[in-house]
Structure 1
Amino acid sequence: MTPLLHSQLTWTTRGAEVFDDLGDTPALIVANHSSHLDATVLLCALPAAVRERTVVTAAADYFFESTWRGLSTALAFGTVPIDRSGGAPSTTPVDLLRDGWNLVIFPEGTRSADGARARFKLGAAFLAINTGVPVVPVGLRGAFAAMPRGRSWPVPGRPEVAVRFGKPMRPGEGDDVRGFTTRLAAEVDRLVAEDETSWWSSLPRPKSDGPATPAAAGTGAAEPARWRKVWAATEPPASTRPRSPWAP
């Protein structure tokens, strides 16, 4: 899979060394989700030893509604079905974590329709709190521009895709499922922003002394307009390839 991906994309990976400190400890790997490329790129960005014991959760009602799609997905990515209909939670993720497997989870539940991150569902935080495993947040940037909804293959030109792993996170004392979900979503957003700008620019800013607007209440900054979020999500990462001396 990796050689094929390299032939179609140009991608950068940063922060994968966070898995060195985890050793054999299983982890939840949580990322934003805007393209069918996400799982493939994320798996290929993992260190080989980590990838060998990692499986991807997938929506049972989409990937496993037909036999051919379920088998092909399971064989290609090592996927396990997750019921997102709102019924009783499956015991499969817990069993896998206890057996030492890492789980890739996309908490949005489905791909973004426009590239902007949707609200995180609570399942990843629920698993982290109830199993005690760490969560490795991941910011994926450029996948939507490379292969948005409606495409079955990346756009031509080996578009740039970036994968940035963050430091493992654990629920804090008194963290409930919703509170930890909010922290996970904020860190994934920060990792995407860090890849787009810098670590310093991605840090949350303190509240100003003046009165906060409703959009800025509790954040210290006005919430970006949705068109800006979509624009940022659809812009491919800056090229890391050397610039030709013959280019104008």
Structure 2
Amino acid sequence: MSELHPLDDYHSESKKKTRRGVRKFLTRPVIKSLLNTSVSGRENVEGLDGAYIVVGNHSSHLDAPMVFTLLPDHMTDRLATGAAADYFYRKPTVSKLTSVFFNTYPIERKSNSRDPNAGRAKGMTSRLLRDGIPILIFPEGTRSRDGELGEFKTGAAALAIKFDIPIVPLAMSGGHDAMPVGAVLPTPNRPPVSMYIGAPMKALDDESVDDFMGRVRRQIIEMLDQGTANPELPGE
């Protein structure tokens, strides 16, 4: 039986500095040359540390690059996101590149008893959170084909409740128009995209997984509709 995927890389200071350099000298200049970006809500996550879950809407291939480029450094230095073990971790070169850009960790989509590496990614999401590493989840599970917000799967809420950690709601607008499904590159003339970083949210006492995830989804809807990181919520 193979050993579990190690967690040392996600605490490595040298790799954190490498990712910060890549963001500063490569991904940020490229993103800002292609897109007219705006970010609000940085004040909501000042001092945020330890394990948490960033939950964002997903309408474009631009979403992950925007997250890892535009969020504050103290978040993206350690933020990790899952990548299919059977695709991104088959070749060391590919896994190293995705790790540099997106601080990826392997997710097993299917069981393969003939694969000598099978099982190394077992429980990685929980292991990272337990070890104090924040993660990124797109709870729609796939990109929206029409730009409209889809239903949210409840896994992020279940993890947040299990580990008693916050969810950071992240709303991104303009990505679908800038690079819709099927497009290879963003549309020309630096189309506008916006990111709204909401205040961290924790489950209420005795709040169910479904109710908590529904509350996070409503927060993201209001952020998008009102165009602000701190929306006024109905009934408040």
Determine the structure 2 residue equivalent to 1:189: 221
Alignment of 1:1-248 (within 5 A): 1-22=27-48, 24-59=49-84, 64=88, 67=91, 70-83=95-108, 90-195=122-227, 199-200=231-232, 203-204=233-234
User: Residues 208-232 of structure 1, C-alpha deviation per residue, up to 9 Å, x if partnerless?
Assistant: xxxxxxxxxxxxxxxxxxxxxxxxx
1:134-156 CA-partner distances (Å, limit 9, x unpaired): 11001100011111111121110
In structure 1, how many angstroms separate the alpha carbons of the residues matched to 2:211 and 2:199? 18
Distance 1:26 1:41, change over 3 A: same
Deviation, 1:179, is 1.4
Secondary structure class of the residue paired with 2:81 = strand
Q: Note the C-alpha offset of 1:50.
A: 1.8
SS class of match (1:113): coil
For structure 1, the 5+ residue unaligned runs are 207-248
Per-residue CA deviations over 1:72-96 (Å, capped at 9, x if unaligned) read 43332112233567xxx95211111
Percent sequence identity over aligned pairs: 37
Q: Residue 178 of structure 1 aligns to a residue in which SS?
A: helix
- CA distance in 2: counterparts of 1:77 and 1:184, whole angstroms: 24
The one-letter code sitting in structure 1 at the alignment partner of 2:209 is V
Q: Which moved more, 1:143-152 or 1:48-57?
A: 48-57
Structure 2 counterpart of 1:101, one-letter code? I
Offset at 1:25?
A: 2.6
Q: Which runs of 5+ in 2 are unaligned?
A: 1-26, 111-120
Alignment partner of 1:124: what SS? helix
Is the CA contact 1:39–1:56 (under 8 Å) kept in the aligned structure 2? no
Higher relative contact order (CA 8 A, sep 6+): 2
Q: CA deviation at 1:49?
A: 2.0
Give the Cα–Cα distance (whole angstroms) in 2 for the partners of residues 184 and 96 of structure 1: 22
Distance in 2, Cα, partners of 1:99 & 1:196: 32
Q: How many residues of Structure 1 are paired with residues of Structure 2 in the alignment?
A: 201
Which one has a bigger Cα radius of gyration? Answer: 1
The CA RMSD over aligned residues, in Å, is 2.7
Moved more, 146-155 or 13-22: 13-22
Shift in CA distance, 60/111, structure 1 to aligned 2, threshold 3 Å:
farther
